[in-house]
Amino acid sequence: MRLNELKAHELLPMISRQEVTVEEAVTCVLDRISAIDGTIQAYITVTCEHALRKAREADARLAKGEPARPLEGLSVAVKDNISTKGIRTTAASKYLEDFIPPYDATVIQHLEDAGAIIIGKTNMDEFAMGSSTENSAMFPTRNPWNPKRVPGGSSGGSAAAVISDEAVIALGSDTGGSIRQPASFCGIVGLKPSYGLVSRHGLIGYASSMDQIGPMTKDVRDCALVLSAIAGHDPKDSQSYPGELPDYTEYLIPDITGITVGVPKEFLDEGLSQAVRDAFTEALEKLEALGVTIKDVSLPHARHALAAYYVISSAEAGSNLARLDGVRYGVRTCASEDFASMMAKSRGEGFGPEVKRRIVLGTYVLSAENHDKYFNEALRVRSLIARDFQEVFETCDCLVGPTSPTVAFEAGEKTRDPLAMYLSDVYTVPPNLAGIPGMSVPCGFDKEGMPVGLQIMGRQYDEATLLQVAYAFEQATDFHVRRPEAEPNAYELAGGERSV
């Protein structure tokens, strides 16, 4: 087995015992990217020289006898909406094509302090708006299980990089499912932390009351390792959780007897595909065999979550993206005589269709005559949805359901119909509205070999229970062990030429 194929918790002891050098480990990942990323297109930027330099520095420290740090030498793929000092950060937008942040996001500081090494910046839907990574202004990313299908989104590049061993660990961001849905489509583990658990400082904001950065990893143990490194209070994020946090790796015990797991009936409605339903039913049986109590529950307002989500997220996006004004960074259209038309033209040229659509929708629902009817009403519905969760958590320790109604769909299938695309997030948006944690773990494959994800949701700031249930489930199954057989140039592909 090559070093890039190892999980983080397998590679770490080899590095700390100096059985392999960090340079060897990083080189293996870079070689894999060279070999396969022409097909997968997971990365917008590969930071080859940066990574090798950091690797040699780490090796020099270890050779001097310094102890290995918690994530020493791990190659991390970072979603391209997370600011990295001196490394181009585009949010997959033409508008930010040449943007080089002057500072690091807090999560990047945490990862680098823990010894992780940025290997590259991954592709995504522009400004994280989308569910297939087809809204990237750069190029689409392909699903390593079948390159004619999408990897999910918006963190599709990070998910594809992890499952094709082009990274050891990855970061994504999740506003309405953008970590969990691509994790499900690519067969990896993805965790959206409770709102406020992980600092948003340095994340290019989309809908700030729901945005969270989280781990995307090969298994649950790696997820706990990364979460322990990035979680924690940050004075630079005004909504950052100020409480004490546990060491999440201590909850990786394969015993979940006595835990009560709720199954919301709204997550098993008519929109659910048969293949996902079958895999989910088997996953429930497996959980029951592991000793949990399964309880049927209801979240009566969950079916309105998608509508509330699109009002709130578009409104916040419309306000947030107003800072992209052609003045301090980004594209400026030169042939403008006055300020207002300079801004309008720069944004018109710099943004893709989905971003424009959401700015228009967001501005519409915030305009004076619609503000109460749409925006305030959506915020009240949000309270109903949060209350539904609180009520079921009085009797359940966590909830489970499918992560997405379908497996990964074909590229191009939903690009013309924004509503159809939005529906692929129908089970992932409720946790963002309520601020609770949600996680996707592999729970099966359909007949065509496409992965299915199990979503686990928990009480606010109770990531520990999610990890415990996810770990026990993973240890009792082997879905996380399988890998796609993506080999370079093995596919006949049409279109989607790589432009960067």
Partner 1 sequence: MKITKEDVARISVLARLELDEDSQSQFVEQLSGILKVINALDELDTSGMNQTISPAGLTNVLREDIALPSIAPEEALSNAPDREGAFFKVPRILDVD
**Which residue carries 């010894």 as its tokens?**
115
Structure-block tokens of residue 68: 């290995």
Q: How far is the CB of 197 from partner 1 (least distance, A)?
A: 9
Q: What is the 3-state secondary structure (H, E, C) of 165-188?
A: CCCCEEEEEECCCCCHHHHHHHCC
* C-beta of 53 vs 332, nearer to partner 1: 332
CB proximity list for 208: less than 8 A, separation 6 or greater: 200, 316, 320
Q: How far is the CB of 357 from partner 1 (least distance, A)?
A: 6
Question: Which of the residues 21 through 60 are near partner 1 (CB under 8 A)?
Answer: none
Q: How far is the CB of 263 from partner 1 (least distance, A)?
A: 23
* C-beta of 265 vs 303, nearer to partner 1: 303
- Strand intervals (E) in 154-298: 169-174, 189-192, 212-217, 260-264, 293-297
**Known catalytic residues?**
79, 154, 178
CB proximity list for 472: less than 8 A, separation 6 or greater: 253, 254, 255, 256, 290
* C-beta of 275 vs 386, nearer to partner 1: 386
Judged by DSSP in three states, 232 sits in coil
Q: How far is the CB of 235 from partner 1 (least distance, A)?
A: 6
Question: Which of the residues 402 through 421 are near partner 1 (CB under 8 A)?
Answer: 418-419
- Site map (CB under 8 A) of partner 1, residues 261-280, x = contact: --------------------
Containing 46, the helix (H) or strand (E) segment is strand 43-46
Question: Which of the residues 343 through 402 are near partner 1 (CB under 8 A)?
Answer: 343-345, 347-349, 351, 353, 356-357, 359-365, 367, 374, 376-384, 386
Q: How far is the CB of 231 from partner 1 (least distance, A)?
A: 14
Instruction: Give yes or no for a contact between 81 and 91, defined as CB atoms under 8 angstroms apart.
Output: yes
The residue length of the chain stands at 500
Region binding partner 1 by CB under 8 A among candidate stretches 273-281, 331-339, 393-401, 450-458:
331-339
Query: To the nearest 10°, the Cα dihedral for 10, 11, 13, 14?
Result: 120
State the pairing for strand pair 169-174/75-79.
parallel
Q: How far is the CB of 439 from partner 1 (least distance, A)?
A: 17
- Site map (CB under 8 A) of partner 1, residues 208-227, x = contact: -xx-----------------
* C-beta of 139 vs 374, nearer to partner 1: 374
d(CA 156, CA 416): 19
Q: How far is the CB of 360 from partner 1 (least distance, A)?
A: 5
Instruction: Give yes or no for a contact between 259 and 478, defined as CB atoms under 8 angstroms apart.
Output: no
**Which residue carries 């299938």 as its tokens?**
413
- Site map (CB under 8 A) of partner 1, residues 175-204, x = contact: --------------------xx--------
d(CA 430, CA 299): 10
* C-beta of 159 vs 230, nearer to partner 1: 230
Question: Which of the residues 227 through 256 are near partner 1 (CB under 8 A)?
Answer: 235, 238-242
Region binding partner 1 by CB under 8 A among candidate stretches 8-16, 160-168, 330-338, 474-482:
330-338
Structure-block tokens of residue 192: 């959206």
**Which residue carries 């924690």 as its tokens?**
232
- Site map (CB under 8 A) of partner 1, residues 278-317, x = contact: -----------------------x--x-xxx-xx------
Structure-block tokens of residue 270: 């008519």
Question: Which of the residues 80 through 119 are near partner 1 (CB under 8 A)?
Answer: 98-100, 102-103
